[in-house]
Amino acid sequence: MPEISYPKEVIRDLIEGKLPWNQLKSIISGYKDNDRFDKYVAVLQEKVPWQERILLPLTDELYIVQKGKERIVKCSCGYEFGDYRENWKLKALIHVRDTEAELDEIYPYPSKPEPGYCEMREHYCPGCGIQLEVDTVPFGYPAVFDFLPDLDTFYRDWLRRPLDTKLEFTDLSYELTRRWSAEGRESIKKTDTKARRRKKV
């Protein structure tokens, strides 16, 4: 396999869509340089206003970063969604389009989803308001967890440089919603107790 290495500036232009088609095609279809991932992350790191180390990009605006001993999802604006093993969409602002009129705003007939069968969920960052993701799902469908990477395996087995701390590779979204449910029940109990006390007075 031939040794190929593109300068970081070329990788930056690749990310930003500035390369001419013939060069772009050559890079995409050719052998990948061994340090491509490092250059890619370095370019992304230069674009964000915060210092936490990017471990892996999730979308154009979301990253898994190392914050102390934690690995969290962070928006390019700096808003933090928490542990990367919890579905970040559970902490996003969500606008649901489930009527003909709402879908007509963005979809021309006849290509729009059928509002009688599904809804469109638009996920926005609570920090900056940028749209992060859109899902079209049946009514009542759980929040789609797009990507839960095994970071320890990726860094240890693929990049050959293990991360400093090891975390259990598991989906923690259910634990998060269970905690919210318990907090909600506790809040209702407190409200009921206060209401009963007022009645006695």
Measured CA to CA, the distance from residue 30 to residue 81 in angstroms comes to 36
Alpha-carbon gap, residue 84 to 133, rounded angstroms:
16
Query: What size, in residues, is the chain?
Result: 201
Contact indicator for 1, 7 with CB cutoff of 8 Å: no
One-letter amino acid at 49 equals P
Cis amide leading into 138 (omega within 30)? no
Q: Among 28, 79, 57, which Cα is nearest to 11's?
A: 28
Bridge partner list, 73: 64, 82
* Contact between 41 and 64 (Cβ < 8 Å): no
Mean pLDDT, the chain, integer: 90
Q: Could you tell me which residues come within 8 angstroms of residue 70 by beta carbon, excluding any fewer than 6 positions away? A: 83
What is the band of 2 on the pLDDT scale with cuts at 50, 70, 90?
low
Average pLDDT over residues 107-122: 86
pLDDT confidence bin for 200, thresholds 50/70/90: low
Q: Sheet of 93-97: strands edge to edge?
A: 93-97, 118-124, 131-138
pTM: 0.84
